[in-house]
Amino acid sequence: MSNTIYVIGFIVALCYVFFSIDDVIWDVAYLFRGGTRSTSRKIPLESLDAVPPKLLAVVIAAWHEDGVLEPVIDHMLASLQYPRSMYHVFLGVYPNDTNTITIAQKLAEKYDNVHVVVNDRPGPSSKADNLNHIIKYIEQFETDHSWRFSSITVHDSEDVIHPYELRITNYLIDHYDALQFPVFPIQRMPSFRNFWAGMTTGTYADEFAENHFRTMQMRDDMSALVPSAGTGFVISHRILENMQTKPLFPEDSLTEDYRLSLVLAKQGFHVHYVLEKVPRLLDNDKVIWDYVATRSIFPATFRTAVRQKTRWIFGITMQSIKASDIFKRDELNLAGRYTIYKDSKAKIANLLVLPGYLVFTYFLISLFVQLPIMYPAYTFSWWLCVFLSVMMVVRQVMRAIAIKNVYGFKSVVAACLLPPLMPIRLIYGNIINMCATISAWKLLLFRPKKEKQKTKIVWNKTDHEFLSQHVLYRYYRNIGDELLEKGVLDPTTLRTALKQSRQQGVRLGDVLLQNRSVTEDQLIQAVSSVQHRLFVKNLGAFSADVSIDKGELEELLVYPLMKTEDYWVFAQTNVTPPDAYKRLKLNPTRVHIVYATKDSILKALHTPGDPRASREYRSISDLLLKNKITWEQAVLALDHQDVTPNILRYMGLRSETLEYSMAAT
């Protein structure tokens, strides 16, 4: 009996070492390469606005999402700090999902940049099929408008998108083929009162914090496979052109996102992992670092978590990855092939939880009951257990560091210290993964032959919910956040100004200007960003209407940029009188407003010149008058025309075909 117990213990310990030792080696190799950049900022965020905005597309595949779709899109368009005319949202729906269609059409009527894409077939087909159908629609949309989207960003219908996501996408997409932003599950602030209620959601938070704070960054730094997370995934137009007529997302996999990542890696396309953070001032005047990431609500019950993870494990380890992928010599380097092995081993490693916990239970019982010794002191199996214990402590420390950076110390206590060494939440999460893996194996081995022969996968989606408005408020950016992010203010100066603003009952901006903490240029840029208005630097690219008295314009601090039959476009300052345009008695009376500094307006009013003589100005004005571009796009193009040649083409507002036809004319 004692020999049998020893053999069982030895095999279990050996299996754990075999499936864990490579992770330790990977961590050590990464640290020796200087892999400590995951907590540092790599993008000069203060320079994001210097890059002209390009047309970007956001796609959302929806099936029975009428309960969350409207608040999601409302929040997205209210919080994203990117010119609204330069991004378009495409909602993929099904003809037999009338409730979702009704909501989607309501949103399309409400917002000019939201479009409804009804699938050709009734739902649910698969998420991949839905996304591929949206992409076909976008391609036709580009042809009809003579536009070109620089990228397509995939999101889920319950996502809370960070306000800076599109700004960073616009900055990076010229340099990378694809981008993956972090995904961090939303959880309630842990406490003893909600510890058990938040157990399942907490396991998602722990795992995603470790993977998306550390592991994904390691993969990117080591030029390994960076898998798509299915949301917050950005695909450049270069990839779409390379795929030509082929469907982008594989429709024969439950995890089309991972399969696509693998296909792209084999074709030599690199997915860059974007781990960036920006400062944010809380209501208690405490400054925290906020990661530019997608936040989502994940399953809160054991059953729904097992169902979702079954799909992930089956789709990744049993559908997407083949043994030949690990050993085949192709575009994947050694690190890339290793990460494929690392992902695929989950279908075996997750099953070790059961024997491992049985052995641990046997050990606990042996402390109180006389039982045969499983690991005699100083034997090989005993040293294996010592080594495993050290590895376990190290991995817990690494996980705790990741959780601390993403969620704070309270989450570390709930995830790693209740109790120490063998935390309840870790055990619970491992049991979920084990049950999901068993379900995945059942799905592989015991599916009816008819289902195995199916070439199309049916969408096995998770039901979603969204946050209330008062919770969403914390995801908006304010003027103080903007000034902190650009490095204009330090937290101490901002706190002092906020206190003074409350005491005096005046605007924060007025206090900052009075204290000379910021310049007018810095303040009005922050104001325009928060109010989702354009800030124009180059007023010399426009021509003031001579029919308006310049004395009035100077007195009111406004400058006319454009005029059509239906509206005016004016630049104004932060102190322009609210009734300025009534006093001007304009015809037509409709006015669109952008921001500029006082000095730039006065300079433009007193500087002679005729920018209308430039070829770029004529092209832009012609497209505006023909309704080929919007007034906002025209202003952006003129303001950035000195940054790069052929600004319209760079921004995606003029295709090569249209450019050729205009030149010929």
Q: What is the mean pLDDT of residues 571-587?
A: 92
Task: Say if residue 612's pLDDT is above 70.
Answer: no
Task: Say if residue 451's pLDDT is above 70.
Answer: no
H-helix or E-strand containing 299?
none
Read off the pLDDT band of 53 (50, 70, 90): very high
**Which residues, including other chains, have CB under 8 Å from residue 324's CB and lie 6 or more apart?**
none
Residues 660, 665: Cα–Cα separation, whole Å: 9
Residues 18, 9: Cα–Cα separation, whole Å: 14
In angstroms, what CA-CA distances link 373 with 37, 365, 387, 389, 390?
46, 11, 18, 18, 21
Determine how many CB atoms are found less than 10 A away from the CB of residue 614.
Answer: 13
Q: For the purposes of burial, counting CB atoms within 10 Å of the CB of 538, is it exposed (0-12), middle (13-18) or buried (19 or more)? A: middle
H-helix or E-strand containing 326?
helix 323-327
Bigger pLDDT: 454 vs 69 = 69
Task: Say if residue 660's pLDDT is above 50.
Answer: no
Read off the pLDDT band of 462 (50, 70, 90): low
Task: Say if residue 323's pLDDT is above 80.
Answer: yes
Residues 533, 528: Cα–Cα separation, whole Å: 5
Read off the pLDDT band of 545 (50, 70, 90): low
Residues 284, 264: Cα–Cα separation, whole Å: 45
Task: Say if residue 453's pLDDT is above 80.
Answer: no
Which pLDDT does position 2 carry in this prediction?
72
Structure-token match 């591929």, residue found:
132
pLDDT 10s digits, 95-139: 999 999 999 999 999 999 999 999 999 988 889 999 999 999 999
Q: For the purposes of burial, counting CB atoms within 10 Å of the CB of 138, is it exposed (0-12), middle (13-18) or buried (19 or more)? A: buried
Which pLDDT does position 656 carry in this prediction?
57
Q: What is the mean pLDDT of residues 388-395?
A: 85
Task: Say if residue 311's pLDDT is above 80.
Answer: yes
Which pLDDT does position 190 carry in this prediction?
87
DSSP 3-state of 151: strand
Structure-token match 């380097």, residue found:
333
pLDDT 10s digits, 56-103: 999 999 999 988 899 999 999 999 999 999 999 999 999 999 999 999
Tokens representing residue 345 in the block: 């081993």
Q: What is the mean pLDDT of residues 324-340?
A: 84
pLDDT 10s digits, 549-569: 889 999 999 999 988 889 999
Q: Where do the structural domains in the chain lie, given as residue ranges?
A: 18-351, 478-530, 539-664
Which pLDDT does position 609 carry in this prediction?
63
Determine how many CB atoms are found less than 10 A away from the CB of residue 157.
Answer: 24
Domain 18-351 bears CATH identifier 3.40.50.9100: no
Tokens representing residue 177 in the block: 């083929």
Q: What is the mean pLDDT of residues 641-661?
A: 75
Which pLDDT does position 662 carry in this prediction?
40
Task: Say if residue 174's pLDDT is above 80.
Answer: yes
Q: Supply the DSSP symbol for 190.
A: P
pLDDT 10s digits, 180-210: 999 999 998 888 888 999 999 999 999 999 9
Looking at every residue in the chain, the average pLDDT score rounds to 87
Least confident of 6-20, 22-36, 128-142, 298-312: 22-36
Which pLDDT does position 349 carry in this prediction?
92
Q: What is the mean pLDDT of residues 247-268?
A: 92
Task: Say if residue 19's pLDDT is above 90.
Answer: no
Task: Say if residue 615's pLDDT is above 80.
Answer: no
Q: What is the mean pLDDT of residues 372-391?
A: 84
Least confident of 140-144, 199-203, 416-420, 570-574: 416-420
Return the percentage of the chain with pLDDT > 90, whole number. 53
